[in-house]
Amino acid sequence: MPILQFNGKFKFQLPYFNNDPTNDARKDGSYDNQIKDNKLLVKFDPNLSSEEIHQRLLTDPTKYFEFEFLETIVSRITFDDGTNTDSNISNEPIVGKFVFLKGFLVDLAPHLQRGQLYAADIRISDTLVGRLNKAIQSDVYKSIKNTRNEQRKGNLFNYSGYFETELKDVYRLTDPFISEDNSRYLRELKDLNLKIYFNLNRYDINTNKGEVCGYISSNIPLTNNDKIKVKDRKLFLNNAILGSNNTFQEIINDFQIDIENSSSFPRATYEIQENNSLLILRYMDIIPFIDYNYSTLEYKYYIHLDHLDKNNNSINQTIEIDRTFEEMKLSGGIKVIQIPNKQNINIGTLRVSIRVRKSKLQSTELLFEPEWEIVLDEYECIKIYSDETKKN
- List Cα–Cα distances, 167 to 45, 196, 319, in angstroms: 42, 7, 31
Using an 8 Å Cβ cutoff, are 302 and 321 in contact? Answer: yes
N- to C-terminal Cα distance for the chain? 31
Contact criterion met (CB below 8 Å) for 281 and 325? no
Closest CA to 215 of 159, 269, 280, 274: 280
Q: Where are the domains of the chain?
A: 1-219, 220-392
Q: Taking Cα atoms as reference points, which of 141, 169, 389 lies closest to residue 283?
A: 141
φ/ψ of 88, rounded to 5, equals: -65, -20
Half-sphere exposure (CA, 13 Å, Cβ side) for 332? 28
Report the greatest alpha carbon distance in the chain. Answer: 77
pTM of the model: 0.89
Q: Do the Cβ atoms of 244 and 213 come closer than 8 Å?
A: no
Measured between alpha carbons, how far is 352 from 235 in angstroms, rounded to an integer?
A: 8
SS3 call for 300: strand
Pick from 29, 2, 6: nearest CA to 214: 6
Q: What is the pLDDT along the chain (392 residues), one digit of tens a residue?
A: 899 999 999 999 888 777 777 888 888 888 887 778 788 888 888 888 888 888 888 888 888 899 999 999 999 999 999 999 997 667 899 999 999 999 999 875 544 567 899 999 999 999 999 999 999 999 888 888 876 666 665 577 888 999 999 999 999 998 889 999 999 999 999 899 999 999 999 998 888 999 999 999 999 999 888 888 899 999 999 988 887 677 788 899 999 998 888 888 999 999 999 888 899 999 999 999 988 888 899 999 999 998 877 777 788 889 999 999 999 999 999 999 988 766 667 788 889 999 999 987 889 999 999 887 776 665 555 555 545 555 55
Helix H or strand E encompassing 51: helix 50-57
